[in-house]
Structure 1
Amino acid sequence: MNKKKRYTVMALSALLVASTMAHNDEAKPWTFWYWMYGAVSKAGIHADLVGMKNVGLGGTYLMPIRGVSERPEYQGEAAQLSSKFWEMVDYSFQQADSLGLDMGIHICDGFALAGNPSILPAESMQKVVWTDTIVGGGKKIEGMQMWQPESYKDGKLQPAGSEGGYYQDIAAFAIRCKEKPQLFKPEKIEYTEAVSTAKGYYLAAKPASIIYSFHKPVTVRSMRVVPNGNNIQSQRLLVQASDDGINFRDIKQLVPPRQGWQNTMCDYTFSLPTTTARYFRFSWTPEGTEPGAEDLDAAKWKPLLKLENIILSNQPMINQYEGKTGAVWRIETDAAAKSETVAMADVLPLKLENGMVMGVMVNGNLMNKLPKGTWRLLRMGHTSTGQTNATAGTGKGLEVDKFSPAAVRKLFNSWYALFLNRPHSDVVKYLHIDSWECGSQNWGYQFAEEFKARRGYDLIPYLPIMAGVPMESASRNEQVLKDIRLTINDLVNEKFFKTFTDLAHEQDIEVSHESIAPTFPADGLQHYQYADNPMGEYWLNSPTHDKPNDMLDAVSGAHIYNKNIVQAEGFTEVRGVWNETPAMLKPMLDRNLALGMNKLFFHVTAHNPWMDRKPGMTLDGIGLFFQRDNTWYPEARGFVDYITLCQNYLQQGRPVVDIAVFTGEEIPSRSLTPDKLVPMLPGVFGAERVASEQKRMANVGIPMEESPVGVTHSANILDLKDWCNALHGYKYDSMNKDALLKWNFEYSPKGKLPGNQDYRILVVPQPANTLSAEVKAKIEELREEGIIIIDKPYQAKDFSQYGIEPDVVLPENMDYAHRCVLEATGRKDIYFLTNQEDKERQITATFRTRTSKIRQIVKLSLPAYGSAFVILSNKEDMQVISQTGHKLVEEEGAGFTENYPSVLAVADKWKVHFDDIRKDTTVTLPFDWSKSADEKMKYYSGHVTFTSSFEWGDSVPVSAEEKMEVPAEKTKTAPSNDGFIKIQLGKIGDVARVLVNGKQYGYAWTAPYEVYVPKRDLKNGSNEIQIVVANTWHNALQGAGEGKAPFKGIWTNAKYRTKSKALLPAGLLSTINIVY
């Protein structure tokens, strides 16, 4: 049944927000603070930090980026680790301390990820490398030199055969070959007219073929694809063979592995059915390309075939072994290929001394010569991956070995610990590990010993598998490769993340991590167990770079490992265009609050060392320009207060999530985006979603779009704005194997993780034959304890048949978050609701209560992209807290609304003052200064003050509009001094703050652009009203680019990109209403 009563409804005003939130500094958003190219000044530091304090931030992560020498024109003097740098650090700490701001420091110079000049090659990330030598058997091989594999020297990787670089042997092997290994060079290469080679590689935009012709038939068992750049299309070739060059037969359709954006470290090896032919054709068509996602990054871009080479071989190879060895983040999706490889006949260990083959070891016996036949001698070792913390300055160095606690401690002491020894370092409260951008490693400190201890057998005899050599059987190959990846996952968590956390906690410092996927081959959730505050990221107007999976990793990782705070690096833009406003940001902010974020970090505040150049320094045009010299930065206080309000409520209690989705036992792995769940929960998603998702994935015609300016990409990339409340009242988390096996029933018959997170349903998308015995046993245990197991497509529209009603029922294009707070007085349920449409809506929301037979209903009005909190408690009342901060009244039949029937007249004429050009004028509203004939006004960006007046008192003039709508007797009644007047600004460009009689009362930064003033503060008679409006930098930068700068000092290192030269509206764009 439904329960609808007349509720007491309360709301928090903007004034009350500040006092209510004062006790919870954790609720305040933070920002990233980048010092660029060593260009740092004390004046700029002071101005930056005062700006952060005034706008309402709680703190900042200080991160120096790039080096002085990279941009000498900026005349930077604070090179990282120099005395000038430490002088600036000391000053920033002192200033932050005096202002009450906290700080965090990244684990190394720059971001991405953990390098330092002190890290030696032997202490850096390692990879397995090898060389091949082909010999005939039946002869003595003792003392034969084998080429040294790839090595690292003088800051770069050296090709095989180079001497003097860093390299360490692991083992050597002699592999019997059934025939002499060959890489076949075609006698002739032909291609269709759609292919161009003008750029030195094969390039095609339309269906095309490349044909290899040989003088005589060759037998092929594998092929290697060398793409040009990060190119998905070169992995989608149809391989065909022919004996006559006319009639071709299909051999194999190549299937790309799932792959991330940092994917160019390795080529692609594909196993092929053994095929003998004179002609091989490689055909390509863009049709059938997926639209692209975070785990298929290269598919996001315009479908072009960009191919350096195709190399055919007669040797059997393990399909896509590069990803399986952990050398790069890839996941094979072509299951059939596992059975195509044929094991090599004999693999014998060799004895090596200083690169010399000293003899063959067979059953522990030294032999002087190999048995007759053709043998492939494999020398295998490891060297540095060569990865560095690329965005650093003078703190740049090799990336630390993620498997060596000693090397990690060295890195900590060589960078982070130095900050802790500075004056006022008590302001440093966080150690931050940014998003993983340093690729993979598949070897490192004591890797072989760790493998044996964890997996129970010796890896070294199977080492040729890491070179793609098949041994024993396909199933054994796959098991060894999986064990390698499991060991990599164990070590990066225990030796890297845990070590940093232990070091930080020793100093009473908290730790935040960003995502590890899709660049490092590990479980994308497991490392969050070592983070105090898991962190994701999301991007603004950047479909190719947005990170919905990163956010889901952080949210799920936090929930399954009992972490209350979910941080987010928010609003990064790949190309900022200086038209961004708080109103533009709000829908994306609210979506991520609904997703589970509850602590925003703006990305980014770039330090501007100059006081006379505006808007100033940026991260080379990347990021949201959330900094002191952005025109609307002072007015962003209203936006920040809103964020603080939301985060205060969303940090209380714990999240209510009904569904856990198992991520499987594959490594690498990460959380599942909602589109991945459609095949398992088609009934819950609904027929319309199933059909739209099939259409999106079919990607017929490969539709493209441009966003931002100059960036063309697939139009069908996953965008979470299209998946609001996707499960229609149910929330889900992704759960990895580690958390699944820890799921226990110590506290509740429902089942709880150690984090006390209730889940009532477990969805298992993986086929049963892919699950291990321990996972199967755990699932059966959960089933017996009453957890609903969904392991086949679920057709019902909800889970009510199991007694689990939707948590909340909402109209479409609405989303929500739900937190449950258990207090001494009982339970409190906090619901955050967000309207994701650009229009005002009257909505009805129905909420599940503790007894699912009774539901509570609330009707309320939400402005365009508006939001509200609904708080249910054990009592009979309900609180509804709106974004605009005013008291609502529930009217019979109308729900929660406002009652402001009377309208005050405002003087027609407004005095207008342009701050930065010192111009004054008088106007009537609406007034858009971008349409002014005066070019100084037309191109002006900055603050403009509008001044007028209105009457208040015993005889209030009434506007013509009110006379039409309000009964005559109403106009003769003296207004009460209780409550508020509401100043309705209507449409503005772009943000404003409102002052009455010289006192500021609030900010208008989003719809409905209203500010509330207490009636008790008004004077009897005339009251002055001032509206200070700020537009974006868009118009001034446009003018500067045309030689029409409105004032001096306009400069930025962010390239200005716009499709149109049209100026953006600026000013008060409608008449002002005052209602009471």
Structure 2
Amino acid sequence: MQTKRFFSLLIIGISFYNLASAQTQSKNIVSWPKQEQQMKPWTRWWWMGNAVNEKDLSFVLQKYAAAGLGGVEITPIYGALGFEKEYLQFLSPAWMNALHYTVKKANSLGLGVDMNTGTGWPFGGPQVKPEYAAGKLIIQDYKLNAGEKLSESIKVKETKQEFAKLQALTAYGPNGETQDLLSSLNTDGQLSWSPKSGTWEIYAAFSGKTRQMVKRAAPGGEGFTLDHLDKPSVDVYLKRFTDSFENKPQGIRSFFNDSYEVYGATWTPVFFAEFKKNRGYDLSKHLKDLAGKDSTSETIARLKSDYRQTMDELLLENFTKNWTNWAHGLKSLTKNQSHGSPGNLLDLYGAVDIPETETFGSSSFDIPGIRRAPADVRNVDPDPMMSKFASSAAHTGGKTLVSSETFTWLTEHFKTSFSQCKPEAEQLFLSGVNHIFYHGTTNSPENVPWPGWLFYASVEINPNNSLWPHAKGLNDYLARCQSILQTGKPDNELLIYWPIYDVWNKAKGLDMALTVHGVDKWLHPSAFYKLAVELKKTGYSFDFASDRLLAKTEAENGVILTAKNASPYKVLIVPSCDLMSNETLENILRLANAGATVIFQSLPKDVPGLNELESRRAKFKNTLSSFTFSKVEKGSMTYKIGKGKIILANDVKSALAQNTIDREALIDSGLQFIRRKSGETTYYYLVNHTAKDVDTEIPLNTMGSAVILDPQNGHTGLASKLGNKVRVQIKSGESLFLNVSKTPVQNSPWEYLNKKSNPLVLNNPWTLHFTAGGPELPADQKLKKLISWTELADPKLAAFSGTGIYESHFYLAAKTAKEYVLNLNKVDESARVWINGQLVGILWSVPFEARIGKYLKPGNNTIRVEVVNLMANRIRDMDRKKIQWRKYHEINFVNINYKNFDASDWSLMPSGLIGPVSITPYF
């Protein structure tokens, strides 16, 4: 009997336990996604001279992992003077051993490894013999009158072009007639032909070489730059890697290619044949126009548009897709910076696994407290719309990751604060980037004196940087952001066509490299750009579409589907453009017929290119004439076709509103945003880059319960929400995520800061003790008032870069407020805070505030603040004392304007905790 009773009670107990466990598990508590390796920031890892060894690699990789990095991207470059005996030849057995050790050690620490498929940039090296090197078109012209014979041989005149080959020789008569003269040329280059009447011009086209060498090459990587347009050349280039890898995967997550900087590469030997095959006519008959300097002729513009389209095809097929297929054969991905290429950037980005943009220079933000000295920044503003070319290619292709080379020349060397990094990274996030790569981290042996080895264009994010002890603050913030920005899919409602033919249709020049630095010429003047900027400011989200993308896009159930794994779009927008191919126009019609909504800002005017122009024009006009528009309200007209419709509206915003495509009105608050969707959950990323704090109720287009997630500190809480409006408090320079879900959640309420009382100013004396840095540790200080280290009496402090710890105490009569906020006010440059011995966290960016209520107690309290400053003052001191620390081959070390670096005349940078420090109670 007792036994039966025991088992009955046991079963009942187990049942109650299972019920309680099930109830706990059923609670829907919104939290941060689990952080995976690629969600942390990665860094470009410069191997100077390939002077690496297992001991030093192990040492630095452990430091990288401890600081919160997620991976490294190996890019070998030139080396440091005096260490030549330690150099490893690129891809040699010794180098491969170093690579294998790196991958094994990095993976054991939770780090991933990417690798540049080359050294320096662009791709090239010793395997690139002259026949495989980047090519250029050399055109020479001659004149002959009737009955005359050419006295000189037709041979290339440019020096150092011994490998140039004559590919075409065309004569142009006085009445526009042409004649191919190649068959009239003997083996010595003598022309056995003379015109019968009039004056003739003769144009000779040679396939020459740019002779560009790899920039910043590492030992074993020196050589000519590759001909990216020629598949056999690319295959030869990649074979060196295949052979060194023994055709086996190396544990490399992704192979990397830097921005296309193949200068003056206008040709490849197969260009004539490819042009005729793809464009349908013989380019060799148009040498005169191809060489022309005319910047207005429509005929020349059309010819050169065809030339540029052919170059685009060669680069896409022979290099980008070819290289990606090669990487996949080694179980790796590709990561490519397509900008700068002479092709359609959207397609080139879209042909790789991880499209990568870059920032170069710094942006100007209105956030109070962020330093921006004119002498310390380049006259370049990164354009977020430029970054959307990379993210659009990823989004429309259903790819998960969009990376960025981040912080290149953000400020002058040694003067970059984490506060300056934060909004620049946030601007990338707002453009769709979700995989930050620092530019960069130089591998530096442990025994190299401070400041260690450095790269000439980087923000030096490495263990020798005096900011390094607090790098985890920045890294954790980016990791939290990217954990959400890599979750689910982008939620953009608009697809905007990019009219590439308008870009290509220029009579001036030959190849057209679409560079980050050239956006003022090829991007900013366009109607496409102006419309995109206007729609973004209005509160719409969008991606860009190329002609190739539209060819494979489908419409179904009223939405537009660009790829199997891509998010659907509600509307296709065609901005005002002059030129559009018949094929693209027909694809747009096909989409509308299948149910898509298409808005034309204005109808395109003509077809691009030169071949069979009149017949293509006739077909184009006939197609446009089939658009039977009916007048609708507010200046827009609609043509209903099949299951969808085409709208003609100069005012695109009004047309969107009329078709119930709603903007996000939260933009009116001054906040910027992006959205991502994961199942039934929509994430909003909200950023305040205005000069004012935002405390308001913002309307959302997504209904459901809203949870606030603060990436600065990881806090979460259920937002106050009424209908579709959510209350947010975001100080200038801060950001928040909102998790909006139709499923009820059980998160604790978010603690809003409401009524504040007078702040408690911490004006008791402080002690200051220096714990790390150099060149020498200064003496301890007792401070009645917080001032910069550089204003204190100890002369060592003028040269000091490192870490100082402040300690003080304060009295709190009673702990009655709901929350207390610590404000350090001015910090140069980052602070780690403890209250009553408990770690509050790293305050690494403006506004240098933290909630500290849970750490306080009535009565006496202690505060400890660890501050790190910049490297600038110590570098200044070394240059004033003529201490040599810049000892590198090739470019050595330059300042932000690419002049010789010299910090000796710099002003001292303020350092330390400047304050005033205060604690504000909120009731």
Q: Look up the match of 2:123.
A: 114
In 2, Cα distance between equivalents of 1:1056 and 1:1067: 28
Query: Given the alignment of the two structures, is residue 771 of structure 1 paired with residue 606 of structure 2, yes or no?
Result: no
User: Match for 2:141: what amino acid?
Assistant: D
Query: Given the alignment of the two structures, is residue 655 of structure 1 paired with residue 512 of structure 2, yes or no?
Result: no
How far residue 30 of structure 1 moved from its aligned partner, in angstroms, is 0.4
Q: Look up the match of 2:176.
A: 344
Query: Given the alignment of the two structures, is residue 636 of structure 1 paired with residue 444 of structure 2, yes or no?
Result: no
After superposition, the Cα gap between the structure-2 partners of 1:348 and 1:835, relative to the gap in structure 1 and judged at 3 Å, is: same
Which among 767, 773, 783 is matched to residue 911 of structure 1?
767
Which among 568, 571, 576 is matched to residue 761 of structure 1?
571
Q: Look up the match of 2:350.
A: 529
Which among 149, 163, 168 is matched to residue 165 of structure 2?
168
Q: Look up the match of 1:1063.
A: 909
**What is the 5 A alignment of 1:114-193?**
114-138=123-147, 146-150=153-157, 158=160, 165-176=162-173, 178=174
Query: Given the alignment of the two structures, is residue 27 of structure 1 paired with residue 67 of structure 2, yes or no?
Result: no
User: Match for 1:1070: what amino acid?
Assistant: P
After superposition, the Cα gap between the structure-2 partners of 1:421 and 1:387, relative to the gap in structure 1 and judged at 3 Å, is: same
Q: Deviation per CA, 1:871-902, whole angstroms, max 9, x where unpaired?
A: 211135698xxxxxxx7636xxxxx4379989
How far residue 841 of structure 1 moved from its aligned partner, in angstroms, is 2.7
Q: Is the 8 A contact 2:38 2:71 kept in 1?
A: no
SS of residue matched to 1:501: helix
Which among 396, 412, 427 is matched to residue 560 of structure 1?
396
In 1, Cα distance between equivalents of 2:449 and 2:246: 33
Q: Deviation per CA, 1:845-887, whole angstroms, max 9, x where unpaired?
A: 2111379xx96111221122010011211135698xxxxxxx7
In 1, Cα distance between equivalents of 2:760 and 2:381: 46
How far residue 800 of structure 1 moved from its aligned partner, in angstroms, is 1.7
Which among 870, 895, 904 is matched to residue 1032 of structure 1?
870
Q: Look up the match of 1:104.
A: 114
Q: Look up the match of 2:454.
A: 618
Q: Look up the match of 2:623.
A: none
Q: Is the 8 A contact 1:983 1:1074 kept in 2?
A: yes
User: Match for 1:780: what amino acid?
Assistant: L
Q: Look up the match of 1:381.
A: 206
After superposition, the Cα gap between the structure-2 partners of 1:478 and 1:679, relative to the gap in structure 1 and judged at 3 Å, is: closer
In 2, Cα distance between equivalents of 1:654 and 1:557: 13
**Structure number with higher relative contact order (C-alpha < 8 Å, ≥ 6 residues apart):** 1
After superposition, the Cα gap between the structure-2 partners of 1:761 and 1:410, relative to the gap in structure 1 and judged at 3 Å, is: same
In 2, Cα distance between equivalents of 1:452 and 1:504: 31
Q: Look up the match of 1:209.
A: none
**What is the 5 A alignment of 1:449-598?**
449-468=273-292, 478-517=301-340, 520-541=341-362, 542-548=377-383, 550-573=386-409, 576-598=412-434
In 2, Cα distance between equivalents of 1:724 and 1:75: 55
After superposition, the Cα gap between the structure-2 partners of 1:29 and 1:898, relative to the gap in structure 1 and judged at 3 Å, is: farther
User: Match for 2:750: what amino acid?
Assistant: V
In 2, Cα distance between equivalents of 1:1051 and 1:359: 59
SS of residue matched to 2:425: helix
In 2, Cα distance between equivalents of 1:909 and 1:84: 58
Q: Look up the match of 1:847.
A: 700
SS of residue matched to 2:253: strand
Q: Deviation per CA, 1:774-832, whole angstroms, max 9, x where unpaired?
A: 2223333444434141323734755321111113423454211111122xxxx211000
Query: Given the alignment of the two structures, is residue 941 of structure 1 paired with residue 801 of structure 2, yes or no?
Result: yes
After superposition, the Cα gap between the structure-2 partners of 1:43 and 1:902, relative to the gap in structure 1 and judged at 3 Å, is: farther
Q: Look up the match of 2:68.
A: 56
Q: Which runs of 5+ in 1 are unaligned?
A: 1-8, 152-156, 160-164, 179-342, 361-368, 686-722, 880-886, 891-895, 951-956, 972-978
Q: Which has the higher strand share?
A: 1
Which among 978, 982, 1003 is matched to residue 842 of structure 2?
1003
In 1, Cα distance between equivalents of 2:332 and 2:885: 41
In 1, Cα distance between equivalents of 2:28 and 2:835: 25
In 2, Cα distance between equivalents of 1:1019 and 1:1030: 28
SS of residue matched to 2:558: coil
Q: Is the 8 A contact 2:496 2:542 kept in 1?
A: yes
SS of residue matched to 1:642: helix
After superposition, the Cα gap between the structure-2 partners of 1:485 and 1:612, relative to the gap in structure 1 and judged at 3 Å, is: closer
Query: Given the alignment of the two structures, is residue 928 of structure 1 paired with residue 788 of structure 2, yes or no?
Result: yes
In 2, Cα distance between equivalents of 1:588 and 1:10: 34
Which among 525, 531, 548 is matched to residue 738 of structure 1?
548
Q: Deviation per CA, 1:410-461, whole angstroms, max 9, x where unpaired?
A: 2123247636789xx7542110011111125343253333333323344444
Query: Given the alignment of the two structures, is residue 408 of structure 1 paired with residue 234 of structure 2, yes or no?
Result: yes
Structure 2 length as normaliser, TM-score?
A: 0.76
Q: Which runs of 5+ in 2 are unaligned?
A: 1-26, 363-376, 505-511, 603-648, 705-721, 895-900
After superposition, the Cα gap between the structure-2 partners of 1:150 and 1:999, relative to the gap in structure 1 and judged at 3 Å, is: farther
Q: Is the 8 A contact 1:724 1:813 kept in 2?
A: no
**What is the 5 A alignment of 1:971-982?**
none
How far residue 358 of structure 1 moved from its aligned partner, in angstroms, is 5.9
SS of residue matched to 1:615: coil
In 1, Cα distance between equivalents of 2:212 and 2:824: 54
After superposition, the Cα gap between the structure-2 partners of 1:130 and 1:614, relative to the gap in structure 1 and judged at 3 Å, is: same
Q: Is the 8 A contact 2:356 2:404 kept in 1?
A: yes
After superposition, the Cα gap between the structure-2 partners of 1:899 and 1:503, relative to the gap in structure 1 and judged at 3 Å, is: farther
In 2, Cα distance between equivalents of 1:762 and 1:512: 28
SS of residue matched to 1:133: strand
In 2, Cα distance between equivalents of 1:175 and 1:370: 10
In 1, Cα distance between equivalents of 2:319 and 2:492: 31
SS of residue matched to 1:911: strand
Q: How many residues align?
A: 784
Q: Is the 8 A contact 2:804 2:868 kept in 1?
A: yes
After superposition, the Cα gap between the structure-2 partners of 1:576 and 1:606, relative to the gap in structure 1 and judged at 3 Å, is: farther
Which among 864, 870, 878 is matched to residue 738 of structure 2?
870
Structure 1 length as normaliser, TM-score?
A: 0.66
**What is the 5 A alignment of 1:354-433?**
354-357=187-190, 359=192, 370-394=195-219, 395-415=221-241, 418=244, 426-433=250-257
SS of residue matched to 1:614: coil
Q: Look up the match of 1:958.
A: 812
Q: Which has the higher helix share?
A: 2
In 1, Cα distance between equivalents of 2:214 and 2:528: 41
Q: Is the 8 A contact 1:925 1:1069 kept in 2?
A: no
Q: Is the 8 A contact 1:131 1:148 kept in 2?
A: no
How far residue 11 of structure 1 moved from its aligned partner, in angstroms, is 10
How far residue 498 of structure 1 moved from its aligned partner, in angstroms, is 0.7
**What is the 5 A alignment of 1:227-238?**
none
How far residue 107 of structure 1 moved from its aligned partner, in angstroms, is 1.5
